[in-house]
Amino acid sequence: MATTMQALAPLSCCAQICGLASSEMIVGAAPRPEHAFLAASYVQGSRAVKATMRSAMVTAIRAALKAYQMRSAAELLVALRVMIASNGASA
């Protein structure tokens, strides 16, 4: 069964749009369908503007880092990159 690679926004784009520092850019998670689902859940779960949705994802990344949950932070970063890639700079 063939899988389709999810589009990811570049890390530099995440840093610029979301204000993430390089120390907050934990890599190591591979894109999976769950990331698209997670990104969509932020969009569907909130009627707020897109900037608020990005902020919620960044807050979750920072909370994971503070709790030393590096894997969770990496997974959330991939979901954020999927969300930004699917919505462009207006994500």
User: For the residues of 14-54, what is the DSSP string, one character each?
Assistant: HHHHH---GGG----PPP-HHHHHHHHHHHHT--S-HHHHH
Burial zone of 55 (CB within 10 Å; 0-12 exposed, 13-18 middle, 19+ buried): middle
Query: Per residue in 27-70, pLDDT tens?
Result: 888 888 887 777 776 666 555 667 788 888 899 999 999 999 99
According to the model, what pLDDT value does residue 67 have?
97
- Token digits of residue 57: 């994802």
What local confidence, expressed as pLDDT, does residue 88 receive? Answer: 53
What pLDDT shows up at residue 70? 94
Global pTM reads 0.76
DSSP 67: T
Q: What is the pLDDT of residue 40?
A: 72
